Amino acid sequence: MRPLTAPALQTPSLTGASTALRTQFFVMGMLFATWGVHVPIVKAHYGLGEQSLALAMLASGVGALAALAYAGRIVGRWGPRVVATVMGCVSCVAIACLESSTHYVGLLAVMLVFGAFGSLFDVSLSAEASEIERLAERPMMSGFHGMFSLGGMAGAGLGSAVPMLGLTPQGHLLLATGLCAVAVLVASQAMLPLPEKHDAEEKHPLSLPRGPLLLLGVLASMGLIAEGAIYDWSVLFMKQERASSASTAALAYAAFSGAMAAGRFGGDWVRARVVPRRLLRASGVLAAAGMALVLAVPSPGIGLVGFALVGLGLSNVVPMLFSAASQVPGVSPAHGIAAVSGVGYMGMMAGPPLIGLIAERSSLTVGLVVVVVFAVFMAVSAKRALRG
C-alpha cells in the first residue's frame, strides 16, 4: 500500500476522505432520526406500553454492547472503510424492517440487529475521524459529529413531511433507508484505505476499561443516555404529554438535532479556544437547563426551544470524550473509542428501561428528569475527567 505521506497525494486524499466521512455521519444521523420519528408508530403498530417499548430499546443496547466487545478487533482487522460499508448497509435494512412484522419478537430482533451493526458503524466512523484529525493536525471531530446531527435534522424533517407527501409509514421507511444505503455505498469508496492492524490489544475482546478510559466511559454513558433519551422519547413526549400533532412532535427531534448540528459545526473552533473541562462543564449546565425548561413549561413552542437548548448543550460532549479516548497513551484509537463506547452503551442499556418504567408508573415527564440529573453530573465531573 502506498503511504499517505507524499504532500502531493495527501491533501486530495484527505479532502475526499473528509467529505466521504461527513456523508457517512449524515447517514447514521438520518437512520437514528428515522427510528426516532417512528417510535409512536411502532408503539401503536405493536400495541405496546411504555415499558414494553423501553425493552425493545434495551434490545438495541444489548446488541450494541455485544458488538462493541469486538469492535476494536473488527475495525483494526478490516479497517473503517470495509466495516462502515457493511455495517451501514445492514443498519439500513434493519430500520427498513421496523414495521414489517406484527409480532413483538420480530421488533426485538430488528432492534438487536440495529444496535449491533449500528454500533460497529459508529466506531468505524469515529476511528476514521480520529485518523483524519491526526493527519490534519487540527480539531475536526466535532464537525464530523455535526453531520450526524444534521442527518438527524434531515431525517426528522422528512418524517414531519410524510403526511404532506402522502407516504405510508412503511413507504417512508423504504424511502429514507434506500437513500441512506446508496449514500453509504458511494461515500465508502472515498474513505481512507487505512492499513490493517494486528496489535496484541486488538486480538482480544474488549474488557472493562480502567483508569482514564473508565472515567471517560462513565461520562460518555451520561451523555449518551441524555442524548438517546431525546432520540427515543422526544417525539412521543410531545405527542403524548403536550398533545401535539404528529408533524409538530417530529419537530422536537428536528429542533434538537438542528441545534446539536450547529453546536458541533462550531465545536472545533470552540474546542481550539476553550479548555475541555470548562467546555464540558458549560455543556452540562446548558443541557440541564434546556431539559428543565421542556419539563416545567406545558407549551409545545417552549418545548421546541428547550429541546434545541438540550441539543446545543450536548453537542460537543461525545466528540470531546471520543477524541480524548483516541489519544490515551498505549491504546489504539479504535480500541479506545470502543472502550468508551462500550461503557457508554452499558449506561444506555439501563436508560430506556428506567425511563419507561418511571413513565409506566408515573409519567414520561417524570421519566425524563433523568436527563437533567445526568447533565448536572457531567458538569460536576468535568474537572476530574478532562485535562486543561
The string of pLDDT tens digits covering residues 105-128 is 999 999 999 999 998 998 899 888
The radius of gyration of the chain from alpha carbons, rounded to an integer in Å, stands at 19
- pLDDT-based confidence at 238, cuts 50/70/90? very high
Output the pLDDT for position 4.
40
Residue ranges covered by each domain of the chain? 16-191+207-385
Residues contacting 50, CB < 8 A, separation 6+: 356, 359, 360, 364, 367
Give me the helix-helix angle, 333-361 and 50-68, nearest 10°: 170
User: The whole model's pTM is what?
Assistant: 0.74
Output the pLDDT for position 246.
81
Q: What is the four-CA torsion angle of 82, 85, 86, 87, rounded to 10 degrees?
A: 110
The string of pLDDT tens digits covering residues 299-314 is 999 999 999 999 999 9
- pLDDT-based confidence at 8, cuts 50/70/90? very low
The string of pLDDT tens digits covering residues 190-223 is 998 765 454 444 444 445 566 678 888 888 888 8
| pLDDT reading at 12 higher than 80 | no
Output the pLDDT for position 351.
73
Q: Which residue did the predictor score with more confidence, 221 or 183?
A: 183
Neighbouring C-beta atoms of residue 11, cutoff 10 Å: 12
The string of pLDDT tens digits covering residues 40-66 is 899 999 999 888 888 888 888 888 888
The string of pLDDT tens digits covering residues 29-38 is 999 889 988 9
Euclidean distance between CA atoms 57 and 229, whole angstroms: 10
Query: Hunting for cell 435534522 — which residue is that?
Result: 153
Which span out of 217-221, 336-340, 344-348, 382-386 was modeled with the highest average pLDDT? Answer: 217-221
Give burial (CB, 10 Å; 0-12/13-18/19+) of 111.
buried
Output the pLDDT for position 202.
46
Instruction: Select from 1.10.357.10, 3.40.50.2300, 1.20.1560.10, 1.20.1250.20 the CATH code of 16-191+207-385.
Output: 1.20.1250.20
Output the pLDDT for position 302.
94
Euclidean distance between CA atoms 365 and 304, whole angstroms: 15
Closest CA to 119 of 168, 167, 63: 63
The string of pLDDT tens digits covering residues 369-382 is 999 999 999 999 88
Q: Write out the three cell numbers for 239.
A: 405527542
Output the pLDDT for position 331.
75
Which span out of 242-246, 337-341, 354-358, 369-373 was modeled with the highest average pLDDT? Answer: 369-373
| pLDDT reading at 350 higher than 80 | no
Q: Is 107 left (phi over 0), alpha (psi -120 to 50) or beta?
A: alpha
Q: Write out the three cell numbers for 259.
A: 441545534
